[in-house]
Amino acid sequence: MPERTVAVASRSGLHARPAKIFVEAAARQTAPVRIRVGDGKAVPANSMLGVLTLGAGHGTEVTLEAEGPGAEEALAALVDLLSRDLDAEGAEGAADPGAAEASGAV
C-alpha cells in the first residue's frame, strides 16, 4: 500500500478551514485514503471528525496511505494540499471580495 509523509503547513494545523478543505479534497479522490499521526491509528481522510481527532497542528508530520486504482494520484494531490498554508490561502480569498466571483463560487 503506497504511503507518503508530509508536514502540515497550515498555521492552525488540520483544524477548522484547513481540515474542511482537506476532507473535501479527500472525498473527491477515486481511491480511499487514510491519514495518521506517527504510529497512531489511521482514520479515513474523508471524515471530518476523524481528521479533527488527530490533533495535527502546524508542523506535525502526518502519513497518508491509499490503495487501489488512483492511489498514487490521490496521495500526490493530498500531499500537495497539506504542504500549503491553507489558512493564508483562505484569508486571501476572504480579503478579496472579487475572488469568489472570479473562481465561480458565487
Q: How many C-beta atoms surround the C-beta of residue 20 within 10 A?
A: 16
Would you state the cell numbers that stand for residue 70, as one nine-digit string?
A: 488512483
Q: Which of 8, 13, 14, 15 is catalytic?
A: 15
**Residue 15 is among the residues annotated as catalytic for this protein:** yes
Q: What phi and psi, each to the nearest 5 degrees, are found at residue 66? A: -145, 160
Query: Which residues are identified as catalytic?
Result: 15
